Amino acid sequence: MYTQLKEINHKPKTFEFYTADSLWADPHTSEQMLFYHLNEEVDLASRNKVFIEKSINWIISHFSIGEQTKICDFGCGPGLYTSGLARTGAKVTGVDFSKNSIEYAKTHAKKEDLNINYVLQNYLEYESEEQYDIITMIMCDFCALSPAQRKAILEKFHRLLKDDGRILLDVYSLEGFEERTEASLYEHMQLHGFWSSNDYYGFLNTFKYEDEKVILDKYTIAEEEGSKVVYNWLQYFSEDMLLNELKNSGFNVQAIYGDVAGSNYSKNNTEFAVIATKQ
């Protein structure tokens, strides 16, 4: 037991392990994520309904989206943004590797007669001959990627964008990093059965990496037949940190906002959003 507890409380190197599939591709947890995506009152897997509607309206207006606009949403989930954007007549593609979310999105699009191209794939592996006017990555998905993955995804955006194309993404700020604290928690059926339909015990270790400005929520799930570990990494950014990453991948930042609904930027925000263009 001592050895097991030592391993549970071990702090790995930043982005040493990548287990996104444990959230999005596992049948049970992806179903749980879909439930939270569709909960209109809370900001968990997706933001609340009021914010999403405000955000969609701002994106449509700011980018002058119309029937000729080609958009790709990376990490589209069940299509909460893609559906709203497609109602303008825009040509919309959504990429996600949660089967449950994509199936829901396709069913919803069919009911509304929306012409949306949904792709069931890890967006790190997505390639297309299509060239887009706008690429979005929303709900701070960019922060869950390692430095190497972020570099690769930005290079992909650069290839997939038209010469005058733009990207919109949001990230967690250093103010948000300062609000996080290290913790060790233990709970039976942690998160109300989120991790498994079987009986389990959940350990949550939150680690802060001060130099890298990274937070790790490390979940160890112990069931009768075995255990698994899920690593939820989050990179936090200063304005300069994000601008430098974008610049090194061939982008110029056009504007900075407080969120993807176009609110005013403040250094007190726990998140912020950027629009960037190809250099």
Q: Tell me, what DSSP letter sits at residue 141?
A: G
- Model's pTM, two decimal places? 0.93
Burial 2-14, CB ≥16 within 10 A → b, else e: eeeeeebeeeeeb
Residues 6+ apart with CB under 8 A from 71: 65, 82, 85, 90, 91, 92, 93, 132, 133, 134, 135, 136
For tokens 């690593």, the residue is 231
pLDDT at residue 36 in the model: 67
105 by DSSP, 3-state: which?
A: helix
Superfamily of structural domain 27-173+236-278: Vaccinia Virus protein VP39 (3.40.50.150)
The H or E element containing residue 258 is: none
CA angle 52, 55, 60 (to 5 degrees): 125
Which parts of the chain fold into alpha helices (H)?
2-8, 20-24, 27-37, 49-62, 80-86, 99-112, 147-160, 174-179, 190-193, 239-248
Can you list the residues of the chain whose pLDDT is less than 70? 36-47
For 145, the 3-state DSSP assignment is coil
The token pair that represents 268 in the structure block: 């007190």
Decide: helix, strand or coil at residue 61. Answer: helix
Rounded to 5, what percent of the chain is helix, strand, coil? 35, 30, 35
Domain ranges of the chain: 27-173+236-278
